[in-house]
């Protein structure tokens, strides 16, 4: 059950007191929950009103603006396809990134089965009732909870009765809105939501359309509740990605090659239930099913040219001089019938993912040795079946850098792969009140995972294989209420993640694959194990105007971390490999409070994310790469894409009873390019972005809204990767750096009606 966001007061609402007790669900299915000051790790929480009043474009955007230790890499440059980083761990829709955050929606795991990816476009932001972001390697949240876990609770007719609608439009031809309605009669309840966004984008050739439908139907009586959630989403996203820095200097809205589109269609059903047998025993659980169809199309430069040998003149050869063949086994001509050279490819792929499973847990509140105690015992099961099809079509690169397909499918670019993953687990969590001020928490989870890849083409038996991974992950921690307003916490936790089917299918350094389209062989990869230490203090400062705070230190070491060793024209060709240990450690400071009619917050994170072993990384586009295309990474080199300093601050001013205005400032220091793991190139420059929002309540039911992003039109980049621009743009474009430029100034106005 959500509480108020203690660390950052509600924007756009009346001032709140700092004495609210926030109850946090300590497992994916929540259950009874515990007060935040009894949890030996930091938790940030927000409710639906805070998300609504922020006027953010998505849940990821809200987290980036408001939650500490969260940053974004705009790798795709689509507002619904960000790489979200928390403490240097990733939750991204892109295959190829190691996913380190477990994400649950009403107890259902929504990291997908193929690559543990997270599709932010499939989350109906306006239907979210609350979110909890928990730091550390919490084993209770299962696989992927290496750096943290995000638990999302959706609205229903009992928690959110009433009706409202909102519509906003403005820059980039963006129109975004929602309509929702909730109702209950005390026993039966229903909630329905439609959420949509459409835009042409600020980059060239970058339209986006997304529609999300969500419904919840419930039966609640004293001691028991059953809720059925249904969701449907249909999105068409264009993310044309990073561009060469030399091109960006001429035109920040330009694209390198296009199109790069992703179409998602999701249907999901989730059944949650809970029952109190008496005042001390509760059983809760869920069953869920998700069906996700994804189709992608990516036009890119081709890594081939006309064969150099006289007897092969007029044919296409790969960089090693091997003649390319089509599906029929015939050599492919270097030109089309009109004499236009083939110099590009179209990567076409589809993947159908059916995932499902469930969790059941019992919570016992009986006293233990005469002491207050909460004991949870649970079991979970997750399964995913994936059908993946991919083809590489020979194409021509047009003058505007789009591609024209030939209809010729390259033989080695065909993939037909079925993958199945199954994971069973049992877990427990026990919180014992040793004294009124001191709480001991012990927890653990045993995971057993099996991943099976099966070639369906009949041509790649080396793709066939079954891998199994099992591990018990423990956790222990203490909280101590040292004084009024001073809560100390500390703990140790472990979590793990098994390699995903996509990682296992693309792990041969002798056979690079082009993500997400072609897979080759599956040398075994080790599972990643994360170990986290937490130490901190939180509470309220009894000043003239009370301030709530949290100051914490953390360290997470990943053993046998997995890295995508990238190459290719735009950094999407390579293979996965265990590269040893990585470490993420730092300091987090959170402050918040209310001064008369002004609510304010400040989140600062200092984060060192470094490699802990020497190794060679495959990065053929790096200026200092050796003859094999490798660079030497030393222990202590920083992980790319993760800023050392992250600061966000903001305030909301209730100027009059009807008019409020808010401001947020996001600062992020420089980061290294993906592909520059050796830290030899200059960093992407740090930046600061200022955002404004306002609301005027014409009546208690009708409001006029306004939002401005990037107020000062700051030119910045939030992402970078190494690539090869000259084969498309010519010999003048030799700089290997590609940047993901941030969006320019944008403004939107709208209305909200509440009934």
**Bridge partner list, 621:** none
Measured distance CA(622)–CA(625) in Å, rounded: 5
Residue 41 sits at the vertex; the CA angle it makes with 35 and 46, to the nearest 5 degrees, is 60
> What integer pLDDT is reported at residue 513 of this predicted model?
65
Q: Which residues of 471-498 are buried (b: 16+ CB within 10 A; e: fewer)?
A: bebebebebbbeeebebbbbbebbbbbb
Per-residue pLDDT band for 542 (boundaries 50, 70, 90) equals confident
Work out the percent of the chain whose per-residue pLDDT is above 90.
82
Domains of the chain, with CATH numbers?
A: 23-304+342-754 (2.40.170.20)
Please state whether beta strands 305-306 and 316-317 pair in parallel, antiparallel, or not at all (unpaired): antiparallel
Nearest alpha-carbon partner for 651 in 140, 15, 81, 73? 15
> What integer pLDDT is reported at residue 19 of this predicted model?
45
Please state whether beta strands 148-154 and 162-170 pair in parallel, antiparallel, or not at all (unpaired): unpaired
> What integer pLDDT is reported at residue 106 of this predicted model?
96
Encoded tokens for 516: 């997400």
Q: What is the mean pLDDT of residues 368-392?
A: 95
> What integer pLDDT is reported at residue 15 of this predicted model?
36
Residue with tokens 């805070």: 50
Encoded tokens for 510: 């002798």
CB 22 within 8 A of CB 36: yes
pTM: 0.93
- Residues 49-58: tens digit of each pLDDT: 999 999 999 9
Measured distance CA(715)–CA(702) in Å, rounded: 36
Work out the percent of the chain whose per-residue pLDDT is above 70.
94
3-state secondary structure of 216: strand
Element (H, E) at 607: strand 598-611
Nearest alpha-carbon partner for 182 in 210, 222, 154? 154
- Residues 143-190: tens digit of each pLDDT: 899 999 999 999 999 999 999 999 999 999 999 999 999 999 999 999
- Residues 644-693: tens digit of each pLDDT: 999 999 999 999 999 999 999 999 999 999 999 999 999 999 999 999 99
Element (H, E) at 728: helix 726-729
Residues with Cβ within 8 Å of 542's Cβ and at least 6 positions away in sequence, in order, are 484, 485
Q: What is the DSSP letter of 124?
A: -
- Residues 395-448: tens digit of each pLDDT: 999 999 999 999 999 998 888 999 999 999 999 999 999 999 999 999 999 999
């Amino acid at each position: 059950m959500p509480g108020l966001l203690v660390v950052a007061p509600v924007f756009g609402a009346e001032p709140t007191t700092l004495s609210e007790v926030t109850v946090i669900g300590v497992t994916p299915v929540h259950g009874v929950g515990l007060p935040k000051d009894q949890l030996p790790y930091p938790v940030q929480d927000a409710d639906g009103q805070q998300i609504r009043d922020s006027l953010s474009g998505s849940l990821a955007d809200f987290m980036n603006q408001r939650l500490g230790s969260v940053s974004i890499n705009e790798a795709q440059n689509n507002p619904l396809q960000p790489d979200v980083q928390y403490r240097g761990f990733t939750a991204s829709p892109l295959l190829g990134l190691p996913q380190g955050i477990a994400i649950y929606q009403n107890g259902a795991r929504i990291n997908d089965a193929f690559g543990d990816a997270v599709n932010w476009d499939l989350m109906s932001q306006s239907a979210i009732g609350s979110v909890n972001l928990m730091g550390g390697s919490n084993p209770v949240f299962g696989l992927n909870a290496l750096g943290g876990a995000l638990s999302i609770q959706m609205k229903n007719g009992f928690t959110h009765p009433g009706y409202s609608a909102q519509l906003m439009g403005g820059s980039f031809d963006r129109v975004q809105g929602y309509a929702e309605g909730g109702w209950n009669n005390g026993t039966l309840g229903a909630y329905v939501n439609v959420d949509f966004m459409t835009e042409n984008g600020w980059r060239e050739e970058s339209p986006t359309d997304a529609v999300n439908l969500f419904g919840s139907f419930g039966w609640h009586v004293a001691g028991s509740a059953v809720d059925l959630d249904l969701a449907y989403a249909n999105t068409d996203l264009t993310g044309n990605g990073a561009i060469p820095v030399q091109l960006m200097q001429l035109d920040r809205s330009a694209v390198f090659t296009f199109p790069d589109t992703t179409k998602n269609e999701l249907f999901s059903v989730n059944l949650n239930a809970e029952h109190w047998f008496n005042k001390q025993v509760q059983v809760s659980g869920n069953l869920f099913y998700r069906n996700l169809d994804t189709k992608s199309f990516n036009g890119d430069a081709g890594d081939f040219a006309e064969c150099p040998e006289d007897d092969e003149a007029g044919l296409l050869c790969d960089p090693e001089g091997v003649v390319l063949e089509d599906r029929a086994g015939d050599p492919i001509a270097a030109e089309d019938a009109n004499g236009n050279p083939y110099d590009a490819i179209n990567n076409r792929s589809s993947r159908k993912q059916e995932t499902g499973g469930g969790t059941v847990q019992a919570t016992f509140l009986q006293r233990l040795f005469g002491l207050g105690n909460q004991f949870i015992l649970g079991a979970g099961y997750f399964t995913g079946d994936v059908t993946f099809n991919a083809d590489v079509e020979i194409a021509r690169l047009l003058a505007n850098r789009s591609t024209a397909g030939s209809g010729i499918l390259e033989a080695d670019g065909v993939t037909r792969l079925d993958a199945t993953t199954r994971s069973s687990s049992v877990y427990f969590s026990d919180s014992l009140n040793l004294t009124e001020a001191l709480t001991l928490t012990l927890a653990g989870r045993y995971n057993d995972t099996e991943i099976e890849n099966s070639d369906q083409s009949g041509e790649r038996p080396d793709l066939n294989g079954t891998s199994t991974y099992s591990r018990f992950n423990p956790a222990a921690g203490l909280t101590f209420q040292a004084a009024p307003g001073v809560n100390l916490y500390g703990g140790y936790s472990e979590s793990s993640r098994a390699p995903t089917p996509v990682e296992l299918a693309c792990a041969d350094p002798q056979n690079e694959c082009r993500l997400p389209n072609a897979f080759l062989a599956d040398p075994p990869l080790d599972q990643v194990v994360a170990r986290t230490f937490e130490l901190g203090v939180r509470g309220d400062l009894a000043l003239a105007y009370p301030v709530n705070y949290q100051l914490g230190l953390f360290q997470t070491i990943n053993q046998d971390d997995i890295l995508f060793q990238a190459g290719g024209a735009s950094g999407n060709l390579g293979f996965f490999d265990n590269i040893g240990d990585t470490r993420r450690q730092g300091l987090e400071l959170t402050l918040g409070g209310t001064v008369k009619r002004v609510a304010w917050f400040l989140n600062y994170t200092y984060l060192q994310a470094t490699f802990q072993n020497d190794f060679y990384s495959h990065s053929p586009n790096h200026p200092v790469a050796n003859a094999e295309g490798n660079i030497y990474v030393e222990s202590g080199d920083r992980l790319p894409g993760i800023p050392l300093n992250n600061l966000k601050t903001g305030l909301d001013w209730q100027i009059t009873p009807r008019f409020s205005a808010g401001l947020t400032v996001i600062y992020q220091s420089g980061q290294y390019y993906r592909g520059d793991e050796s830290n030899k190139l200059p960093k992407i420059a740090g930046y600061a972005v200022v955002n404004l929002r306002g609301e005027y309540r014409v009546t208690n039911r009708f409001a006029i809204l306004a939002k401005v992003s990037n107020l000062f039109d700051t030119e910045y980049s939030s992402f970078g990767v190494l690539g090869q621009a000259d084969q498309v743009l010519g010999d003048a474009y030799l700089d290997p750096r590609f940047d993901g430029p941030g969006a320019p100034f944008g403004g939107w106005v709208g209305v909200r009606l509440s009934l």
